Amino acid sequence: MDEKYYYGGFGGRYVPESLIEPLNELDRNYKSCKKDKNFQSKLSDILKNYAGRPTPLYLSGALSEYCGCSVYLKREDLCHTGAHKINNALGQGLLAVETGKRNIIAETGAGQHGVATAAAAALFGLKCTIYMGTKDIKRQHNNVVRMKLLGADIVEVQEGDKTLNAAVNATLRRWVQDPENIYYLLGSCVGPHPYPAIVRDFHSVIGKEVKEQIPDRPDVIVACVGGGSNSIGIFTPFFKDKNIRFVGVEAEGCASLSKGKVGVLHGAKSYLLYDKNGQIKKTHSIAPGLDYSGVGPEHSFYKERSRAEYVNINDSEALKAFRWLSKNEGIIPALESSHAVAWVMKEKWNGGQKVVINLSGRGDKDIDEIFSMEEIKREYE
């Protein structure tokens, strides 16, 4: 396979023959739009006037005092629809329009990509179908309602682990059936080439803004990692500055990079969680957006080259950080982002360091799930 499809030895296209030409077409169209000043102008306009970019880089007084260093929050939670996911949804939605596709499909776990895709489809006048696992539908009911309000059809995925992994499988199966008329708006930096590059590029606006916003440069950049879109978006613009430390924070129950092995999932070679028989392992996280058995191939490349370090945080630690930031800073973070906050809170820092946390989403989507926990119920009754 052509080396251009790989990040080191990761990535590639491990897909049915019927998808090779649609992927080639997508690659050609994306490269053309990437160079097109008119496309870039349209995208810049909707990111500013529709999505609300640039998002602030906020020096958190409470976290800085707690950690003993300067802790900045990149406020992606303030984007329209409540997470970084809108960057990629608008970029790919506009790409679909420019290339004549009118039927959008997408997968979602936490629901934020589904909501962002539904919003983009409504904006551009496209038909939208979202695939979501039964387990995630139950724990992200608010986002399901939002998707429906925005005009999307929801397909419940009942097989497999009933989470994001199963939703991706179902969406890929649907795309294989009609690739000529369907645009698959993939939500993370996973899957076959060129999706990891497309998603990375549309999210790199996060890191580009941080470069302009922070005094001097950060010492450490921290972001949660499931598939890895928000983290690759903030890391990429700083890649060549080897003095900046990258930390990707996984959920302990789905830590592909911390605990996994190299394999192939959803059309790409990357680090995965699988058993001795090669079967994908079931995962668990309190944060549905991290509940995935694999990770983007570029993150695997970062791991192999020691450009980033990958750590993990358990449910209890993430929940503690969620509640702490809510009570002490007045910001309710998504449970996914809470993993990054939790890791920073656990570390020992010196007073001169600048730490940037990508606060990738807001936590109102998680309220029902959190308040179903018995210990939380008792506290607030």
Encode pLDDT of 280-331 as tens digits.
Answer: 998 999 999 999 999 999 999 999 999 999 999 999 999 999 999 999 999 9
- Identify the pLDDT of residue 378: 64
143-178: burial string, b at 16+ Cβ within 10 Å, e else: bbebbeebebebbebeebbbbbbbbbbbbbebbeee
380, pLDDT greater than 80: no
pLDDT of 2 above 90: no
The verdict on 233 and 96 lying in the same domain is no
| Active-site pick, 60, 252, 360, 369 | 360
**Residue where one domain finishes, among candidates 198, 223, 257:** 198
Q: Which residues of 221-240 are buried (b: 16+ CB within 10 A; e: fewer)?
A: bbbbbbbbbbbbbbbbbbbe
For residue 350, is pLDDT > 90? no
**Residue of 85, 135, 354, 365 marked catalytic:** 85
Q: Provide mean pLDDT across the span 40-66.
A: 98
Give yes or no: residues 116 and 238 share one domain. no
Assess whether 76 and 184 both reside in one domain.
no
- Residue 316 and residue 173 share a domain: no
DSSP state of 71: E
CATH code at 149? 3.40.50.1100
Sort 131 into a burial class: Cβ within 10 Å, 0-12 / 13-18 / 19+.
Answer: buried
Q: What strands, in cross-sheet order, belong to the sheet with 245-251?
A: 57-59, 70-75, 354-359, 220-224, 245-251, 308-313
Number of domains in the chain: 2
In a shared domain, residues 30 and 78 = no
State yes or no: pLDDT of 1 exceeds 60: no
Say if residue 67 is in the same domain as residue 116.
Answer: no
Same domain, 151 and 274: no
Q: pLDDT, tens digit, for every residue of 245-259?
A: 999 999 999 999 999
Do 141 and 255 fall into the same domain?
no
Marked catalytic residue, from 107, 250, 298, 317:
107
Among this protein's residues, is 360 annotated catalytic? Answer: yes
Looking at 198, 225, 242, the residue that finishes a domain is 198
pLDDT at residue 377 greater than cutoff 60 = no
Domain with 210, as residue range(s), is 52-83+204-380
**Mean pLDDT on 208-213:** 98
Query: Do 34 and 74 belong to one domain?
Result: no
pLDDT of the residue at 169:
93
Give the Å distances, CA to CA, from 254 to 9, 137, 180, 207, 251. 22, 19, 34, 25, 5
The verdict on 179 and 214 lying in the same domain is no
* 362 plus 256 within the same structural domain: yes
Query: What does the pLDDT average to over 112-125?
Result: 98
Residue 245: predicted pLDDT: 98
- Quote the pLDDT of residue 321: 97
Listed residues 198, 226, 261: the one ending a domain? 198
The yes-or-no answer on residue 107 being catalytic is yes
- Closest to 107 in 3D by CA, of 291, 362, 256, 335: 291
Residues 168, 222, single domain; the answer is: no
What's the whole-number average pLDDT of the chain? Answer: 95
- The model's confidence at residue 372, banded by pLDDT at 50, 70 and 90, is confident
Contact (Cβ atoms closer than 8 angstroms) between residue 318 and residue 338: yes
Instruction: Identify the CA nearest to 165 among candidates 278, 6, 272, 7.
Output: 272
Percent of the chain with pLDDT over 70: 97
